[in-house]
Chains A and B, each alone.
Chain A
Amino acid sequence: MKDENKKSKMLSIVKEKKASDISTYIIVATAWAVFEILIANGMISSHMKGLLVPMVYYAIAAVGLNLCVGILGELSIGHAGFMCVGAFTSVMFSNIFAETFPAPVRFFLAMMCGIAFAALFGFLIGIPVLRLNGDYLAIVTLAFGEIIKNVINALYLGYDKEGVHASLSAPVVLDAETGKMLINGPLGVTGTPRDANFSVSIVVLLISLFIVQNLMKSRDGRAIMAIRDNRIAAESIGINVTKFKIYAFTISAAIAGAAGVLFGHSISTLQSTSGNFGYNISILILVYVVLGGIGNIKGSIIAAAVLYLLPELLRGLSSYRMLIYSIVLIVMMLFNWAPSVRDFRSSMWMKIRRRKEN
């Protein structure tokens, strides 16, 4: 019995993932269509409607983080920091050029701006961080994430005819006529045009999916996975480990930045608080990645959607909902990962299969 079990595991064949890739796009598109129909027919509460954009940007962040955790194999607990960078840089762009461009163009450029800055931060942080290993790397990414959040929270930034004014300690004094406040310290950024809606967010999600899924099936993707599986062997076959690590980390940060851009453009006041961009948010995204399956992009999206909406679905249970949520999380982890449960599941599976054969 045990032996057969092992044999069936051994022959477990990795199917070409082409079909699975396409199914991911289909799932996302279907979810979009379903929600749009529900909205059009007024079958969805306005509260629920407000959750759709966050659900999508957390899914995007999870896709980005999965590239780092699942494909590159490095644990990051700082991705909320990259979201923060993407959100603030893009929102500032939108505010500065609020009157210059028509809304779609402005949002597109803001998106590019947010992604570029998040990528730049990912690149600069990646260079020192990726020299570390395992949990040390994780705690340093957490540290960088917290630094980004705290510094932006303390930052006063504005400009007037005399140029740019910035301070980390006190509000900047600007010329009354020409002055424009960009970031008002802990009060953050206000009055951003709300350019991000559900459909736009879905498009960004599809593009992130396209990038990550295609990357995984390219030369670069294979090199990145080879480093994850065995760094020393990867070096021995001529793979530039540092280069590919930084490359993957940068793209991962850029995608988190895109999620941040949507975040920043879906609320009117953007603040760099712990509740928005603290390590708890990085952990929240990590939970989606692990529960959806490390390295499984489709799983990340489904887990993000389900887990983000779950507390809302439990709303009827009022104050017990977060308690239930945490228990569900623990039970799901045990069910998915505990070796004893896994063995039990596969043996049950064998039994069912054999019964069918008879």
Chain B
Amino acid sequence: MALLEVNHLSISFGGLRAVDDLSFSIEKGELYGLIGPNGAGKTTVFNLLTGVYSPTEGIIKLGDTDITGKKTIDINKEGIARTFQNIRLFGKMSVIDNVKVALNNSSEFYYGSLHGILHTPKYHRIEKALEKRALELLEVFDLDKERDVLASNLPYGKQRKLEIARAMATEPKLLLLDEPAAGMNPNETAELMNTISLIRSKFGMTILLIEHDMKLVSGICERLTVLNFGKVLKQGETKTVLNDPEVIKAYIGE
């Protein structure tokens, strides 16, 4: 059964149909790519999937749950986490606190406000567990050495990684990555590709990826949807799609 199912999704801003009749589904464990030229509506799709916008038409289902039109925080609790095209970290908080604050969807790490203010034994016990869990995650992303650095002081590539680590801390079923390689040099991109395969092998994560970098896309995505002017241009296996003359035309021009 598909983990994410999107049926006839559309949204209009005024007269503009930014996303028009988009349907696709992602299997559990898959790495699915969403590509297209600038302004094709890719980020709008992410905003629809995460409840930033409500669709004008269409249905979004995560597993058996209909999440269409739900609020961002509820969708996150249902199991979708994301990163942002323009990095959005908690800049004045330390690296480890960026992860700790995201570890809030599991009851394992919950304590009431009074415990938090009085620093009761329960607080200390759970904070210890939180710290341990956060460090484990940071180690996966090779960020454990920078644990106490302010997030805004991290170099660019590591900021991207931290954003992914933070999203993973919410224990999602589906991870949305919005142009993770944007602004990266080839070395950083290669490292990022490793990180992404690591998330898949280690956590069995299902990923939906928006990307411009063709090398990255062809290297790791199994299937693709190509968007152009909000509409589906092509869908299917990565190789077939990328060799499609129409796709080439949309990207490179005539």
Direct A–B contact in complex, judged by CB atoms less than 8 Å apart: yes
Contact A218 B91, CB 8 Å, known A12-B153, A14-B150: no
Partner of A236, one of B50, B93, B97, B155: B50
**A294 and chain B: residue at smallest CB distance:** B92
Q: Tell me how many residue pairs across A and B have CB atoms closer than 8 Å.
A: 110
B6 contacts A by Cβ under 8 Å: no
B117 contacts A by Cβ under 8 Å: yes
A10 and B153 contact, CB distance less than 8 A = yes
Secondary structure class of chain A's binding surface, majority of residues: helix
B153 and A240 contact, CB distance less than 8 A = no
B81 and A211 contact, CB distance less than 8 A = no
Residues of A within 8 A of B166 (CB): 233, 237
Contact A215 B116, CB 8 Å, known A223-B101, A232-B88: yes
Contact A220 B93, CB 8 Å, known A12-B153, A14-B148, A238-B104: no
Q: Nearest Cβ distance between residue A57 and chain B, in whole angstroms?
A: 21
Interface residues of B in 54-93 (CB under 8 A from A): 72-73, 76-77, 81-82, 84, 88-93
**A contact residues, range:** 35 or more
Q: Nearest Cβ distance between residue B109 and chain A, in whole angstroms?
A: 8
Residues of B within 8 A of A13 (CB): 148-149
B111 contacts A by Cβ under 8 Å: yes
A240 and B91 contact, CB distance less than 8 A = no
B117 and A15 contact, CB distance less than 8 A = no
A230 and B118 contact, CB distance less than 8 A = no
B91 and A236 contact, CB distance less than 8 A = no
Query: Which residues of chain B have a CB within 8 Å of any CB of chain A?
Result: 50, 52, 72-73, 76-77, 81-82, 84, 88-94, 97-98, 100-102, 104-105, 109-111, 113, 115-119, 123, 148-150, 153, 155, 166-167, 169-170
Q: Besides the contacts A214-B118, A217-B119, A237-B170, what 11 more A-B pairs have beta carbons closer than 8 Å?
A: A10-B149, A218-B123, A219-B101, A220-B116, A221-B116, A222-B100, A223-B101, A226-B98, A233-B89, A233-B90, A247-B113
Nearest 7 A/B pairs, CB to CB? A218-B116, A233-B88, A229-B90, A238-B76, A222-B101, A237-B102, A235-B72
14 A-B contacts (beta carbon < 8 Å): A214-B118, A219-B101, A229-B89, A233-B84, A233-B88, A235-B72, A236-B76, A236-B82, A237-B76, A237-B102, A237-B104, A238-B104, A239-B104, A240-B73
